[in-house]
Amino acid sequence: MNTLGRRLIGAIPVLLGISFLIFLLMHIAPGDPVTLLLGDDATPADIERTRHEWGLDQPLIVQYYDFVNRAVRGDFGKSLKFNESVTKLIAERLPATLELAFASLCVAIMIAVPLGVYSAIKHDSLFDHAGMSIALIGVSLPNFWLGIMLIYFLGGQLNLLPVAGRIEYGVEVKTLTGLYLLDSLLTANFAAFWNVLQHLLMPAFTLGSALAAIVTRISRSSVLEVMRQDYVTTARAKGLSETNVIWRHILRNALITIVTILGLQLGALLSGSVITETVFSYPGIGDLLIQSISARDYKLTQVLILMFAITYFVVNLLIDLLYSWIDPRIKF
């Protein structure tokens, strides 16, 4: 518990550091939100007036102080591009991304871990080589391209799945958690569940495929690694059954590496969501981030990235805790 508290307190300076860095980076990087918003017709005088109106002509440090001062009180300001409070914008989109990320993770784990572990156990067999080749294809495809191909074939040519969005207009889900799959199950609305699932399949597969490939490889190699350890040989020598050896000794130890990689891949998953959501017009925060960066929407970008940072921090904290649970020898 002590460790946990220390880590939580230790996170505060990191988050402040990140927020200042982003703030600086965004303001140093060229591009002005007002010029972008006002478009073709704006004259320099219009632009100056609007900048003043929104307080963008204030010195940087004043703007930053203002931001932190408000943020501490829970007010993250207003997005210039969307003309809406940042909190509301994120709140309405976060569940979508969580749902997508979770679905992708499921896709990846369900494909990858069994494939990787089995490949390792059947080391150098035909199955092993075939499995690894599939994994290779998975990482060799840029996910925007995979997404577009899926849209083209499954959506356009075969007309099997919807190509854009989260849910069909006219299908209603009562919002409880914002995760449509969960909400529709809780309200026993199976038609909506099916519709949401159909919308989720292609994006989740697109986002999950690269992850699946990586996890397959890592599971395989870490299982192989563990299989060569002395304690496995010992376990076998003791006459334990093969199943027992695999489950009790090999898998448990191999899990450490697999879990690390999953934690590390969270960043990749969030980055990937930027592209996947753009391709599938999926209304999540990845899509929001790209739009806000290209509009130079300072406040929104700032808060979004901080949110990525916090998510990441929390997940990795959980992973470290998991570590010591899986392998009690590791201490902090």
Partner 1 sequence: MFSLRYLKVWVGGAILLLLCVCGVAAPLLAPRDPQAQTLEDRLRPPRWNENGSPAYFLGTDNLGRDMLSRIIYGSRISLIVGAATVIFAGLVGCTLGAIAGYFGRGADEVVSKISEIFLAFPFLLIAIAIMAFLGQGVGNLIMALMLSRWVQYCRVVRGEVLSLKQRDFITAAKALGGRDWYVLLRHVLPNTFASVTVIATFGMAIVIITEASLSFLGLGVPVHIPTWGSMLSEGRSYINRAPWLTIFPGLAIFITVFGINLLGDGLRDIFDPKLRRQR
Partner 2 sequence: MRTLIDRRSFLKTSAALAVSAAAGRYVQRNAYGASLDRVTIYHTSVADSINPYNHSSSPIYGQWQHVMEPLVELDYKKQDYVGVLAESWQFQGNKWTFKLKKNIKFHNGAPLTSKDVAFSIEKMRDEKGGSLQASNFKDVTEVQTPDDLTVVFVTKQPLAIFLDRLENRFILSKVAGDKFGDKLYDNPIGTGPYKFVSYQRGGNMVFTRNDEYWGGKAAIKEIVFRKVTEDAARLAALESGQADFINNVPDHEVARLQKHPRIRIDKIEGLRMFFLAFNMAFKPWDNKLVRQAANYSIDAPAIVKNIFDGIGYPINGPVGANVVGADPKLKRYPYDPQKSKELLTKAGFPNGCDIQLYYSAGRYPKDREVCQVVSAQMVKGGFRVELISQEWALFWDKQGVNGGKLPFYYIGRGSLTDADTLYDQYFRTGTTKRTNYSNPDLDKLVEEQQKTADQKKRIAILQNAGKMIMEEAPFIPLYNLADIYGVARNLVWKMRPDEKVLGWDMSIK
Q: CB of 19 within 8 A of CB of 68?
A: yes
Q: CB of 36 within 8 A of CB of 301?
A: no
Residue 48 binds which entry of partner 1, partner 2, none, with Cβ cut-offs from 5 to 8 Å by kind?
none
Residue 139 binds which entry of partner 1, partner 2, none, with Cβ cut-offs from 5 to 8 Å by kind?
partner 1
Q: DSSP string of 218-231?
A: HHHHHHHHHHTSHH
Q: Is 330 in the site for partner 1 (CB under 8 A)?
A: yes
Distance CA 37, CA 126 (A): 58
Residue choice 3, 4, 8, 21 for contact with partner 1 (CB under 8 A): 21
Which residues from 7-66 bind partner 2, rule CB under 8 A?
Answer: 30-32, 35-44, 46-47, 49-50, 53
Q: CB of 227 within 8 A of CB of 192?
A: no
Q: Is 293 in the site for partner 1 (CB under 8 A)?
A: yes
Question: 105-130: string of b/e by CB count within 10 Å (b at 16+)?
Answer: bebbbebbbebbbbbbbeeeeeebee
Residue choice 65, 152, 190, 247 for contact with partner 2 (CB under 8 A): 152
Residue 103 binds which entry of partner 2, partner 1, none, with Cβ cut-offs from 5 to 8 Å by kind?
none
Residue 121 binds which entry of partner 1, partner 2, none, with Cβ cut-offs from 5 to 8 Å by kind?
none
Distance CA 137, CA 86 (A): 39
Residue 141 binds which entry of partner 1, partner 2, none, with Cβ cut-offs from 5 to 8 Å by kind?
partner 1
Phi, psi (5° rounding) for residue 187? -95, 10
* Single-letter amino acid code for the residue at 78: K
> How distant, in Å, are the alpha carbons of 87, 161, 328 from that of 301?
12, 32, 40
Which one, 10 or 165, has the nearer CB to partner 2? 165
Number of residues that bind partner 1 (CB under 8 A): 57
Footprint of partner 1 (CB under 8 A) = 10-11, 13-14, 17-18, 21, 25-26, 28-31, 136-137, 139-145, 148-149, 152, 210, 214, 217-218, 221, 225, 228, 256-257, 260-261, 264, 267-268, 270-271, 274-275, 278, 289-290, 293, 305, 308-309, 312-313, 316, 323, 327, 329-330
